[in-house]
Structure 1
Amino acid sequence: MNVERLRILRELADRGTVAAVADALSMTPSAVSQQLKQLAKEAGVTLLEPDGRRLRLTDAGRALVVRTDDVFAALARATAEMDRYRASPRGRVRVALFPSGAALLLPGLLTRLANSDVDIDARDEDLPASSVPELLADYDVVLTHRDERAPSTAGPRIEVTTLMREPIDLVLPPGHALAQHESIDLRDLVDERWISVRGGFPVDDVLLSVAAATGVEPRVMQRVNDFRVTEVLVAAGHGVALMPRYAVVHPGLVRRELSGVRAGRIYELATRPDAGRLPAIAAVLDAFRAEATFRTGLWPSTS
Structure 2
Amino acid sequence: MPLNPWRLQLLDAFGRLGTVRAVAAELSMSPSSVSQQLAALEAETRTHLLERTGRRLVLTPAGLLLAERARDLLEQMDAIEGELDELRTRPVGRLRVACFASGVVPLLVRSATALAAAHPRLELELLELEPHESVAALLAGACDIAVTVDTGDEPPAAGVRTVRLASDPLVLVLAPGHPLAHAPGLTFADLAGERWALDRPGTYLGELVPRLCRRAGFEPLVAGRFPSYGVLLGHVAAGLSIAVLPGLAVGRDPDVVARRLAPLGERRIVAAVRRVTGRQAANRAVLDALRSAASGRADPWLAPP
**TM, length-normalised to structure 1:** 0.65
For residues 50-199 of structure 1, the aligned pairs below 5 Å read 82-83=85-86, 88-115=90-117, 116=119, 117-125=121-129, 127-129=130-132, 131-137=134-140, 138-147=142-151, 149-152=152-155, 154-182=156-184, 184-199=186-201
Match of 1:283 among 274, 282, 285: 285
Residue in 2 that maps onto 1:257: 260
Residue in 2 that maps onto 1:10: none
- Unmatched runs of 5 consecutive residues or more in structure 1: 1-77
Question: CA contact under 8 A between 2:97 and 2:124: conserved in structure 1?
Answer: yes
> Shift of the alpha carbon at 1:180?
2.1
SS, match of residue 295 in structure 1: coil
Distance 2:302 2:274 in 1: 34
Count of aligned pairs between the two proteins: 221
Report whether the alignment pairs 1:206 with 2:208. Answer: yes
SS, match of residue 275 in structure 1: coil
> Share of identical aligned residues, percent?
33
AA in 2 matched with 1:145: V
Structure 1 residues 144 and 288, CA, compared in 2 at 3 Å: closer, same or farther?
Answer: same
Structure 1 residues 243 and 210, CA, compared in 2 at 3 Å: closer, same or farther?
Answer: same
SS, match of residue 200 in structure 2: coil
Distance 2:287 2:304 in 1: 22
Residue in 1 that maps onto 2:38: none
Distance 2:198 2:174 in 1: 13
Q: What whole-Å deviation, never above 9, does each CA across 1:181-236 have from its counterpart, x for those lacking one? A: 25630100111110011133332343033124213221122111211111111111
Distance 1:200 1:183 in 2: 31
Q: Which moved more, 1:211-220 or 1:191-200?
A: 211-220
- Unmatched runs of 5 consecutive residues or more in structure 2: 1-80
Is the radius of gyration larger for structure 1 or structure 2? 2
Q: What whole-Å deviation, never above 9, does each CA across 1:252-284 have from its counterpart, x for those lacking one? A: 21111112x142222121111133861011111
> Shift of the alpha carbon at 1:133?
2.1
Structure 1 residues 277 and 180, CA, compared in 2 at 3 Å: closer, same or farther?
Answer: same
Superposed CA RMSD in Å reads 2.8
Structure 1 residues 95 and 243, CA, compared in 2 at 3 Å: closer, same or farther?
Answer: same
SS, match of residue 103 in structure 1: helix
